Structure 1
Amino acid sequence: MHIACIHQGYELYGSDRCFAESVRTIRALAPDARLTVVLPRPGPILDLLQGLADEILYEPLWILRRRGLARLATLGLLRLPLALARAARRLATCDLVYVNTTVVADYLIAARLFPGRTILHVHEIPEGLVRKVLRLLVRWSGAEVVFNSQATRAAFALPACADTRVIYNGIAGPAAPEPVTYDGTRPLRLLMLGRISRIKGQEVLLDAIAALPPAVRARIELRIVGSAFEDAAREAALAARIGDSGMDGRITLRPFDPNPAPHYRWADVVVVPSRLPESLGRVAIEAMAYGRPPVVSAIGGLVEVVEAGRTGWTVPPDDAAALSAALAAIVADPGSLAARAPAARRRFETLFSEAAVGRAFSAMLAPRLARKPRAAAPAVVHP
């Protein structure tokens, strides 16, 4: 059996890690299959894919990105026929094609020609015109669709007859949670981890800290970890804002780190102040895996991750005052961390661990993997 796994990225952000974990699950379920991974270019994600795939190929995928839509609609259209031909050739020679995210347009268009061969894993909640375009692509493809949350499925609003299901992202966490050490005798350590962008809400968190009474603000340390995607100006603006905060080095900005574990171990609380809906909320899940109760915006899939009052805290999105009040309450009541940390870890193990999600993937893939292979794949598929 020949299985191909297609991904639009090459870095080590949330969607990249989710893809690698899906590939690992597919490999475990089909150890004898020939597994091909297709990426747009080499990158840090290769470290997570080593030993999982029989081959890793690089192709100029036709990817719908907001930043490049104008180019795709002009010069990019000249590349579309070749991209479609490449995708169709791979679909023709594979028994199963797993496509990660809806923006890989060439594969979704070509999937229509090969019914029953494509599984589409949706990890995003787009907005406006982009959502309409992607929804049309998903419907056109005829693929079996896996959404990573109920919020994501609701955003796409596919017809009831569509073949869809929800499977949460399976995340590899530590073998055991970290101990809770905050007791109020030292500053509360806050961590914000993720891409620097307007959507993620770094500025909202800074506004929330600035709104704290000086005595409370002096009992907080904040570490922001992440980089902007091809946007040096946004990174510089955030660094300048931190420099002007008057926090005397208690707010630090660090670049993207492919290994977030040391940051979770350092933190007491992880903050996810997203301004727009997250499809699920990987950082919040990872925080719970480490026994770090998160403070999240009550929006999108984040409300499926965090149980307010039990495993963390939820606040209205884009509301610096509400976030400030939540942080002040944690500083005033250190015991609230110790009360939530065990419940957070249990929720991770039950819903979001690789073992839990692997069982759901197995139930979905088992009938497909039991079929007789349709075609013998060539030794190497070239673009």
Structure 2
Amino acid sequence: MRTSQPRPSVLVAHPSADLYGSDRVLLETVDGLLRHGARVLVTVPAPGPLVAGLRARGVNVVFCPTPVLRKSFLSPAGVLKLAVAAVRGGLAGVALLRGSRPDLVLANTITVPLWTVLARLLRIPVLTHVHEAESSAPRPLRAALALPLLLSTDIVTNSSFSADTLAASLPRLRGRATVVYNGVPGPDAVVPAREGLEGGLRVVYLGRLSHRKGVDVAIDAVLRLRDRGVPATLSLVGAVFPGNESYEDQLREQVARSGAADFVTFHGFQDTVWPFLAAADVAVVPSRLDEPFGNTAVEALLAARPVVASNTSGLREAAGGYSSVQFVDPGEATALADALSAVHAGWPHYRKRALADAQLARERHSPEGYGDNMARQVAAAVGVRSGKA
């Protein structure tokens, strides 16, 4: 249902065209804006699978080479590269903003701060949607990343933990953020987990292959589980960031060295995760570091699969309050193996609980409710410009 809120034109600036957590959330944001009558234009630095999803919704996509903040810029050569990219991207960004004349820029992460600066220079309001919470980074770095948010008209975060991290990084941001939990679409139909565990426990990991995500911990945990006499397999669904290929090489070496090639499978990036969850018994989210939220945990719950997740920050907000979820200390392969062993030993109970949790997850993370909420946030930010807020 549409509301009586203004129908703005929105330029969404997004850092990539992948289809991981924040990318999929962007699609739900766009759906909500379109449902409320907004005109939406999306800019990303380069082509990727996200583009097809946007265009299928009738949204124009413009490739604009603005810089995305990465750890690779944290060197003298990286700073120079960033400066060159900022000049190039600034010229292209100004041209796009002047040509499209949006009522609002939605900066969809703090990793694209140039859009915030350019929009405010042109007196266009900016709503920044924060998907990050780098609480473990040095405070000067966190403050530098948060600094452009002082220019934002409004701020939305995906969890209370993200909002608290911003406030701790830059106290002037305290109280400025509105928390909107991610909308997460579920499968078209829930495929209940199998009643028996013939052949062993099927474990799945979904997400980026990176050290901070603890993929090697998941492999280690399955190895320990098998050493205890519990048959188990592990499916890894995801790929590395470009430039981080060495981590995947390390994972493959870990698998080869331990003789695990027969029961650890690399599936690479996949457009849809539901077939892999339908084939699995339990999902793991073994992140080493704080997570701002935990879309993959919610996806597993929506698929009626028990979850074992690291007991950190945003993961507690995403997966807390469900009876089929266990939390373990980050980076602890033994604890992860213990939790998986508990699922194996108590399978009928975990299976039943996961089915009930799927309904609760649908209620908590309704894409429609999320989209409506984001549309209200956009309308409020546009109202600042027009004097209606």
Query: TM-score, structure 2 length as denominator?
Result: 0.87
Q: Displacement, 1:238?
A: 0.8
Q: What secondary structure sits across from 1:291 in the alignment?
A: coil
1:330 partnered with 2:343: yes
In the alignment, structure 2 segments of 5+ residues that lack a partner are 1-7
Q: Which residue of 2 aligns with 1:264?
A: 277
1:293-312 equivalence runs, <5 A: 293-307=306-320, 310-312=323-325
1:156 partnered with 2:166: yes
Q: Choose which of 364, 370, 389 in structure 2 pairs with 1:357.
A: 370
**For 2:152 and 2:369, how far apart are their aligned partners in 1?**
27
1:93-104 equivalence runs, <5 A: 93-104=101-112
Q: Deviations over 1:124-177 (max 9, x none)?
A: 1222243221111212x2331110011111111153665320111112212332
1:133 partnered with 2:150: no
Q: Choose which of 227, 236, 242 in structure 2 pairs with 1:224.
A: 236
Contact 2:255 2:261 in 1 (8 A): no
Q: Which residue of 1 aligns with 2:5?
A: none
Contact 1:38 1:56 in 2 (8 A): yes
Contact 1:269 1:294 in 2 (8 A): yes
**For 2:250 and 2:88, how far apart are their aligned partners in 1?**
40
Q: Displacement, 1:329?
A: 1.0
Contact 2:105 2:124 in 1 (8 A): no
1:315-326 equivalence runs, <5 A: 315-326=328-339
**For 1:203 and 1:114, how far apart are their aligned partners in 2?**
46
1:2 partnered with 2:9: yes
**For 2:47 and 2:145, how far apart are their aligned partners in 1?**
26
**For 1:37 and 1:268, how far apart are their aligned partners in 2?**
37
Query: TM-score, structure 1 length as denominator?
Result: 0.88
Q: Deviations over 1:56-95 (max 9, x none)?
A: 1111112211123434521432343453354455556210
CA root-mean-square deviation: 2.5
**For 1:182 and 1:297, how far apart are their aligned partners in 2?**
26
Q: Which residue of 1 aligns with 2:68?
A: 63
1:13 partnered with 2:25: no
AA aligned opposite 1:15 = S
AA aligned opposite 1:148 = N
Q: Displacement, 1:323?
A: 0.9
Q: Choose which of 89, 102, 123 in structure 1 pairs with 2:131.
A: 123
Contact 2:182 2:370 in 1 (8 A): yes
Q: Displacement, 1:350?
A: 1.7
AA aligned opposite 1:156 = L
Q: Displacement, 1:236?
A: 1.9
Q: Deviations over 1:100-125 (max 9, x none)?
A: 10010211223443567111111112
- State, as a whole percentage, how many aligned pairs show the same letter: 29
Report how many aligned residue pairs link the two structures: 370
Q: Displacement, 1:207?
A: 2.0
Contact 1:195 1:228 in 2 (8 A): yes
Q: Give the direction of change, closer, same or farther, for the CA distance of 1:171–1:213 in structure 2 (3 Å limit).
A: closer
Contact 1:100 1:121 in 2 (8 A): yes
**For 2:97 and 2:383, how far apart are their aligned partners in 1?**
18
Q: Which residue of 1 aligns with 2:3?
A: none
Q: Deviations over 1:216-251 (max 9, x none)?
A: 33x211111222122332212211211232346122
Which protein is richer in helix relative to its size? 2
